Chain A
């Protein structure tokens, strides 16, 4: 028991016992600013549209009959793909901009601190948590190190790859002289060999993103249930809430 300024007895918190510092009671932290949340859901929707239409561009739906002039099915599929691709690209560029002007959490997925030993130690701890070796994960306001790394590699770089190859393929349609062709197709297509190779790699990229989505959604649900902080609701509200009062590892 300790006595506070007013002379009343207060129960000792775990913090004062563990660390000998002043009580550090944290109800919630504002993590995801509104632009980041809007970007997340716009991006998710674009990926959904791009994934489905992209799959159909590779393997078109069954042929339809009638006059060619009376339908534009494949045209619409491709249109949706291109439109969603543009929105995704603009949103992604905005997201990069926000990494500079937003709060410190907005930078996280772009710059995992791989030069820090603690990053790798905590990442290993997180791996142990997923391997069910340790009983408890560390507590984070932002992403945990494992999540940061997966986001950085499987999401950020994959999206960059998809935007580059996507525009290279799109530039083939807009033709030589168009900015899409000059900026993307003109060097990316020879880099891969030929157009068909770029198609194949772009197609493989789709499946990397599908795998990422599976991992991302599963991990979010699991963390929401089992970790020490909120996950799913945070991407709607922006606030991270915690289940215990212990200090967070990344504050």
Chain B
């Protein structure tokens, strides 16, 4: 008999009152009605903890850093105990061969029943030698663990899209989890992008998985709709300034002091799907735009390769270092205009000659 979530919580000294509070807050965070709070409580009281292998590839561990700061009531302690986090080399007590043995143990014991949480991604160049874990390329560990798991969570932009290590020119040929070679194609993948993802989004995704024993509704690109269906821009508290035409022109101007829209200093809020403007960070304290910095779209595919974080228009590669749509298009229009003018002049000369000769 496995321990249930509730058993674990009680064992850790959490009162039933706190537990029920957590359930109703989680229901609210997931956008579920009040009737779902007892459902969550029931699930936690009856279901065994899901074993989770949390693998780290090429990454900076910001996802883990974010995750452990989930400011949800008790989440720091509870969520880590809710799931049975069997392996997470960053925070586990075991190390070395002892730690690595746990992976195989979990695979043997829970074949087809554990969750594979991937933080970071595998590099493919030089036979994967850019990321070695326990003497083997990370790719092998990933393929082995993925073949026996129930489902895969791609934490953060690294696992979801590739992020900084996959940015041009991507020397190690890092690829996101869903593009890694040799991965089973019958395992569902949920992407939770962000650099890092919001802590509460991470814990909520896990809570949803545990409660309903399935993925939340995903969009076409595999992200949970409940957190990634709207752009930062759609719920931005500075949106009225955008509509009014009030923009920060530089970071030391009057507009910046008054909290105007950051669109002209490169805000990617209008093209970024994430929950920052609603859930916010650090327990709902703030988020980048609120602290006066434009969103740079960390949860979007390839956000490192879209030019300067402080430019509204994207740099376009292949046309020099600093070119965007306006510079390329303007140059093309100039060339066409100049060609038309030259042609017009030549036509006029020809016509004058033609007439002179004919008549």
Please, which residue of chain A has its CB at the minimum distance from the CB of B243?
A75
Q: Is A114 an interface residue (CB 8 A)?
A: no
B residues 230-268 near A (Cβ < 8 Å) are: 230-231, 234, 240-249, 254-255, 260, 263-264, 268
Query: What does DSSP make chain B's interface, helix, strand, loop or mixed?
Result: helix
Contact mask for chain B residues 206-238; partner A; CB cutoff 8 A; 1 contact, 0 none: 000000000000011100010001110010000
Contacts of A77 on B, CB cut-off 8 Å?
A: 245
Please, which residue of chain A has its CB at the minimum distance from the CB of B329?
A207
CB <8 Å contact, B230 and A175 = yes
CB <8 Å contact, B312 and A59 = yes
CB <8 Å contact, B268 and A68 = no
Q: Is A5 an interface residue (CB 8 A)?
A: no
Contacts of B242 on A, CB cut-off 8 Å?
A: 74
Contacts of A61 on B, CB cut-off 8 Å?
A: 245
Determine which of B220, B221, B313, B344 lies in contact with A222 in the assembled complex, contact meaning CB atoms within 8 Å.
B344
Query: What does DSSP make chain A's interface, helix, strand, loop or mixed?
Result: helix
Contacts of A130 on B, CB cut-off 8 Å?
A: 343
Determine which of A62, A135, A190, A203 lies in contact with B326 in the assembled complex, contact meaning CB atoms within 8 Å.
A203
CB <8 Å contact, A200 and B316 = yes
Q: Which interface class (under 10, 10 to 19, 20 to 34, 35 or more) fits B?
A: 35 or more
Contacts of A208 on B, CB cut-off 8 Å?
A: 329, 332
Chain B proximity of A195: nearest CB distance (Å):
4
Determine which of B220, B230, B337 lies in contact with A186 in the assembled complex, contact meaning CB atoms within 8 Å.
B220
Q: Is A143 an interface residue (CB 8 A)?
A: no
Q: Which of B98-106, B113-121, B297-305 contacts A (4 or more CB under 8 A)?
A: B297-305
CB <8 Å contact, B332 and A211 = yes
The docked-state distance in angstroms from the alpha carbon of A176 to that of B325 is 28
The docked-state distance in angstroms from the alpha carbon of A193 to that of B306 is 11
CB <8 Å contact, A204 and B328 = yes
Please, which residue of chain B has its CB at the minimum distance from the CB of A75?
B243
Chain A proximity of B175: nearest CB distance (Å):
15
Give the A interface residue count (CB, 8 A). 48
Determine which of B234, B301, B346 lies in contact with A132 in the assembled complex, contact meaning CB atoms within 8 Å.
B346
The docked-state distance in angstroms from the alpha carbon of A64 to that of B333 is 30
CB <8 Å contact, A200 and B314 = yes
Contacts of B330 on A, CB cut-off 8 Å?
A: 207
The docked-state distance in angstroms from the alpha carbon of A72 to that of B245 is 7
A60-B263, A65-B246 as given contacts; A199 in contact with B271, CB under 8 Å:
yes
Please, which residue of chain B has its CB at the minimum distance from the CB of A55?
B326
Contacts of B255 on A, CB cut-off 8 Å?
A: 63
CB <8 Å contact, B333 and A211 = yes
Chain A proximity of B109: nearest CB distance (Å):
38
Contacts of A193 on B, CB cut-off 8 Å?
A: 301-302
Chain A proximity of B170: nearest CB distance (Å):
15
Q: Which of B10-18, B61-69, B124-132, B347-355 contacts A (4 or more CB under 8 A)?
A: B347-355
Please, which residue of chain B has its CB at the minimum distance from the CB of A196?
B271
- Can you sample 13 A-B contacts with CB below 8 Å? A63-B255, A64-B244, A74-B243, A75-B245, A132-B350, A194-B271, A194-B297, A196-B271, A203-B329, A207-B329, A208-B332, A211-B332, A218-B344
